[in-house]
């Protein structure tokens, strides 16, 4: 029976030497999430539900020996990271490279309104509306992760960020297309565990998923 699965190719391993555990955590709920408003670089705050969600995730992470928390510098992510820090005692650093996608002029619009006006999610002209394209977000997100891996590979790390950015990170690791990454639907305060181990015999990747998967 396999206990670990390579995120690059899906190959299973029953035994694997793990160097460290990393957790990708989306921020807790905000009022904009609840109202289905487009929320990119807006500096929105957690609502009461979001605080409770972050506290539940923090409690889950309390005994996982977290060494460092790296968070987006937007308020909703910072507040989530600070709640996790209080539970784990880990240091927190903030990095604007982990901010959500910039949606340009769509910022603050309601999702049904955007769907009606611009159509399919992947077809929305973010760049033409003053925002970013998926490739730009993926590049800055993966650049940040590679930087922290280089400096902290043997530490247990929590990365606190946002739904679209986290979807693009998982898309990059799993080598899937944008359509599938957009459909990941990562929940507020959900934690996705990545385990760094020995290189996979099949594809050479060293990121694995074990029995945890995600925490919703």
In the residue annotation, 100 being an active-site residue is answered as yes
Pick 117 or 40 by higher pLDDT. 40
Residues 42, 123: Cα–Cα separation, whole Å: 22
136 is catalytic: no
Per-chain mean pLDDT for the chain: 89
Q: Which residue among the candidates 29, 41, 79, 100 is catalytic per the annotation?
A: 100
Assess contact for 24 and 162: CB atoms under 8 A. no
Q: Each residue of 180-193: pLDDT tens digit? A: 555 568 999 999 99
Q: State how far Cα 215 lies from the chain centre.
A: 12
69-82 pLDDT, tens digit each: 999 999 999 999 99
pTM for this prediction:
0.91
CB-based contacts of 12-15 (< 8 A; 24+ apart in sequence):
13/208
Q: Where are the alpha helices (DSSP H) in the chain?
A: 31-34, 48-61, 75-88, 111-118, 134-152, 163-174, 178-182
Tell me which H or E stretch contains 194: strand 191-197
Interval 62-75 mean pLDDT: 97
Q: Please report the pLDDT score of residue 129 as a whole number.
A: 86
Flag whether pLDDT at 42 surpasses 80: yes
Average pLDDT rounded to a whole number, residues 153-178 = 90
pLDDT digit string (tens) for 113-155? 988 888 765 556 678 889 998 899 999 999 999 999 999 989 9
Model confidence at 28: pLDDT above 60 = yes
Q: How confident is the model at residue 102 (pLDDT cuts 50, 70, 90)?
A: very high
For each of the domains in the chain, give its residue range(s) and CATH number, in order of start: 4-215 (3.40.50.1240)
pLDDT of residue 121: 57
């Amino acid at each position: 029976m396999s206990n670990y699965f390579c995120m690059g190719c899906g190959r299973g391993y029953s035994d694997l030497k793990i160097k460290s555990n990393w957790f990708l955590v989306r921020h807790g709920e905000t009022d904009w999430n609840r109202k289905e408003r487009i929320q990119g670089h807006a500096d929105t705050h957690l609502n009461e539900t979001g605080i409770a969600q972050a506290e539940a995730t923090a409690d889950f992470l309390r005994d996982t020996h977290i060494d460092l928390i790296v968070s987006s510098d937007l308020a909703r992510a910072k507040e989530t990271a600070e709640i996790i820090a209080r539970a784990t005692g880990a240091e927190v650093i903030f990095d604007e490279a982990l901010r959500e996608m910039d949606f340009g002029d769509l910022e603050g619009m309601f999702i049904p309104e955007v769907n009606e006006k611009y159509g399919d999610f992947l077809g929305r002209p973010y760049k033409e509306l003053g925002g970013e394209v998926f490739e730009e977000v993926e590049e800055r997100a993966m650049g940040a992760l590679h930087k922290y891996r280089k400096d902290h590979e043997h530490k247990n790390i929590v990365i606190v960020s946002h739904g679209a950015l986290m979807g693009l990170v998982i898309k990059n690791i799993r080598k899937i297309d944008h359509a599938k990454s957009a459909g990941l639907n990562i929940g507020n305060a959900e934690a996705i565990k990545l385990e760094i181990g020995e290189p996979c015999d099949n594809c050479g990747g060293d990121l694995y998923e074990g029995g945890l998967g995600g925490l919703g």
